[in-house]
Amino acid sequence: MSANAALIKEFETLLGKENVLTSETDLHSYSYDAAVLDSKTPALVLRPTNSEALGKAVALCNENELKITVRGAGTNLSGGTIPHPGGVVILTNALNKILEINEQDLYARVQPGVVTAQFAAEVASRGLFYPPDPGSQAVSTLGGNVAENAGGLRGLKYGVTKDYVMGVDFFDVDGQLVKSGSRTVKCVTGYNLTGLMVASEGTLGVFESITLKLIPPVPAAKSMMAVFPSMNAAADTVAAIIAAKIVPATLELMDNFTIRTVENFRKAGLPVDAEALLLIEVDGHPAQVAEEAEKVEAICKANKATSVTVAQDAAQRDKVWQARRDALPALAKLRPTCVLEDATVPRSKIPAMIDALGAISKKYDLTIGTFGHAGDGNLHPTILTDKRDTHEWERVEKAIDEIFEKALGLGGTLSGEHGIGMAKSKYLAKETSKATLEYSRKMKSVLDPKGILNPGKIIGW
């Protein structure tokens, strides 16, 4: 059933007229997200401004069998926020209050529409630290981060979003508030519904509020850039650093193509002949940082690094990270369409995966730049193409299939941090099992009997 005039009136009474969007232009502007997938126009866009209205709107959608896609900033890279055609988009960006920052018990409670970077800054201003830092943090929302289990550059040492979610309160399809988790460090009350909600991509409930763990800030950090003549040498270095029982906060990798592209873009003096670059940051107590930085430098050199530059001040540190921040923008400027994947492999398999990407790029005659989080095996092979070139696009699709096949073959996973969404649901059983898919579908069918919650995502149709 689609949204008729009487129902629209009902939503307007509930949410206020200005929070029910029905114009063609408004609907079209919520038909896509950041994934390179076809857009799908919703019939209605709702923007609740308080949680009570959110719960009622969900219930009203369920009564009328309207399919819901909850959307924060729409930065999703796997199509998780592309709506069901003719469905409803529920925007969370008016639910953007930080409800509590508890400095004694080190947690915070937020509404789902709070922007990640703004939250992190507010937490920092209270002398605390919220580590997850997805690339889109300047705009992405915490609700979206939890729904996708977003990662970031600090994943290796500090973990990803799931490691900071202590609880999620959410509405079920009937608009009833389900509470999960707690404000305590330990909690084994009932099923781990919090865990179920993380990475559920809006298919099992609609988030009302989230409780997040905070940690003390890190007093010191040191960054360095190491240059390698081969990808193998860089990968050996990664393994050797971990084997030496050092866990850097960040351990990033760039391949030769990405290095050259970034250098062309910024002219910051990057070594264009290098086959690989590692950008490393160790952090912690100043004495520990000094010791670990020295050890890491020695390990890099012992593993054939041709040079290691340790940042001496904030400006040099920023230069190291600017190179990493430039990777995507620099690559994105080369061709009109930029497909950013997040195939992830055990870190020992990085050279094998890089080799495979080289072979795939050759086989399908495509340009692929690779950078990513070497420390946790989360790579971002970035295919540069033009979606309008149908022949090339066919090759891109085949290449993507092969990238995931390879990642799974190496004992890896389909997604390190972008989620499954619509883009990768077809591969799901391949990584898990037929039984996993069936179990998931059974669970979904009970919790959401009318199938209104973000249909088509993760487990397919």
User: What is the smallest separation between the CB atom of 274 and other proteins, expressed in angstroms?
Assistant: 24
Instruction: Please state, in angstroms and rounded to a whole number, the distance separating the CA atoms of residues 34 and 46.
Output: 20
- CB neighbours (10 Å) of residue 218? 17
Task: Return the number of the residue (142 or 345) whose C-beta is nearest other proteins.
Answer: 142
User: What is the smallest separation between the CB atom of 201 and other proteins, expressed in angstroms?
Assistant: 17
DSSP-derived pairing of the beta strands 250-255 and 276-284: antiparallel
Q: Which of 4, 13, 17, 28 binds other proteins (CB under 8 A)?
A: 28
Stretch that binds other proteins, among 69-77, 124-132, 281-289, 428-436 (CB under 8 A): 69-77
User: What is the smallest separation between the CB atom of 30 and other proteins, expressed in angstroms?
Assistant: 6
Stretch that binds other proteins, among 87-95, 242-250, 392-400, 407-415 (CB under 8 A): 87-95
Instruction: Please state, in angstroms and rounded to a whole number, the distance separating the CA atoms of residues 64 and 174.
Output: 11
Per CB under 8 A, does 268 bind other proteins? no
If you ran DSSP here, which 8-state letter would residue 245 be given? T
* Structural element, H or E, at residue 243: helix 231-243
One-letter amino acid for residue 36 of the chain: V
The first and second tokens of residue 117, run together, are 């970077």
Per CB under 8 A, does 47 bind other proteins? yes
Residue 433: Cβ-neighbour burial (10 angstroms; 0-12, 13-18, 19+)? exposed
Stretch that binds other proteins, among 26-34, 101-109, 402-410, 439-447 (CB under 8 A): 26-34
Residue 169, φ and ψ in degrees, nearest 5: -100, 130
Per CB under 8 A, does 263 bind other proteins? no
Determine contact, residues 147/201, Cβ cutoff 8 Å: yes
Instruction: Please state, in angstroms and rounded to a whole number, the distance separating the CA atoms of residues 75 and 83.
Output: 13
Task: Return the number of the residue (83 or 284) whose C-beta is nearest other proteins.
Answer: 83
Q: Which of 15, 44, 60, 91 binds other proteins (CB under 8 A)?
A: 91
Instruction: Please state, in angstroms and rounded to a whole number, the distance separating the CA atoms of residues 209 and 97.
Output: 10
Per CB under 8 A, does 386 bind other proteins? yes
Determine contact, residues 460/425, Cβ cutoff 8 Å: yes
Determine contact, residues 276/253, Cβ cutoff 8 Å: yes
- CB neighbours (10 Å) of residue 222? 23
Instruction: Please state, in angstroms and rounded to a whole number, the distance separating the CA atoms of residues 220 and 229.
Output: 30
Per CB under 8 A, does 24 bind other proteins? yes
Task: Return the number of the residue (123 or 246) whose C-beta is nearest other proteins.
Answer: 123
DSSP-derived pairing of the beta strands 107-110 and 206-213: antiparallel
Task: Return the number of the residue (12 or 291) whose C-beta is nearest other proteins.
Answer: 12
User: What is the smallest separation between the CB atom of 25 and other proteins, expressed in angstroms?
Assistant: 4
What does the per-residue mask of binding to other proteins show for 129-148, with x meaning CB under 8 A?
-------x-xx---------
The first and second tokens of residue 233, run together, are 């040498």
User: What is the smallest separation between the CB atom of 34 and other proteins, expressed in angstroms?
Assistant: 5
Per CB under 8 A, does 324 bind other proteins? no
Per CB under 8 A, does 387 bind other proteins? yes
- CB neighbours (10 Å) of residue 86? 15
Per CB under 8 A, does 22 bind other proteins? no
User: What is the smallest separation between the CB atom of 87 and other proteins, expressed in angstroms?
Assistant: 16
Q: How many positions of this chain bind other proteins (CB under 8 A)?
A: 37
One-letter amino acid for residue 95 of the chain: L
Per CB under 8 A, does 290 bind other proteins? no
User: What is the smallest separation between the CB atom of 374 and other proteins, expressed in angstroms?
Assistant: 22
Per CB under 8 A, does 341 bind other proteins? no
Q: Which residues bind other proteins (CB under 8 A)?
A: 21, 23-26, 28-34, 36, 39, 41, 47, 73-75, 91, 93-94, 115, 117, 136, 138-139, 328-329, 332-333, 336-338, 386-388
